[in-house]
Amino acid sequence: MGILGDILVATEQDALAYDASLEFRKSPTAAITVVYYKSFTGLEFGTLWALASGEPFEMRRHKLRHISHGDEGERWLEAFPEELVAVLSALPEAELASLAARWAATDELRLSHMLPEHAEPVVRDLRRLAAQARHEGKGMYLWGSL
């Protein structure tokens, strides 16, 4: 069994609907953009936030905002804080490969055998989704499930 980690660009209401309904997840509305990943939790995105901001990682500062979770903890919904969305959307093209390599070298990603060449497309997706969220006035969310 693995961890699913879908990244959404949506309103909070649509993100909650995505979380609440398997049918909605199978066929999300056009108002939601979804990118499907495995093995990512808020912790990995927190470490990326710290790296992209040039700060030491601090769990209390670099964490996603809890929105909801399933009764038995088998699924969760977290929001990317606006500060993180701003940092991601402003990442310069010339720094993406270097940032991805540093992210892949963190304990969190190294333990999941993430290679820099696999991390870079994720960083690129996150930058694109963050820019879209800012442009559309929506949020970015992590929907996870065991």
**pLDDT value, residue 28:** 72
Q: What pLDDT band is residue 8 in, cutting at 50, 70 and 90? A: very high
**Domain limits for position 139:** 4-145
Query: Which residues 6+ apart lie within 8 Å of 127 measured at CB?
Result: 88, 89, 91, 96
Q: What is the pLDDT of residues 56-87, one digit of tens each?
A: 999 999 999 999 988 777 899 999 999 999 99
CATH code at position 27: 3.40.1760
CA distances from 135 to 110, 129, 140 (A): 33, 10, 12
The phi and psi torsions of 137 (rounded to 5 degrees) equal 70, 35
Q: If you ran DSSP here, which 8-state letter would residue 38 be given?
A: B
Q: What is the pLDDT of residues 97-122, one digit of tens each?
A: 999 999 999 988 877 767 778 899 99
Number of domains composing the chain: 1
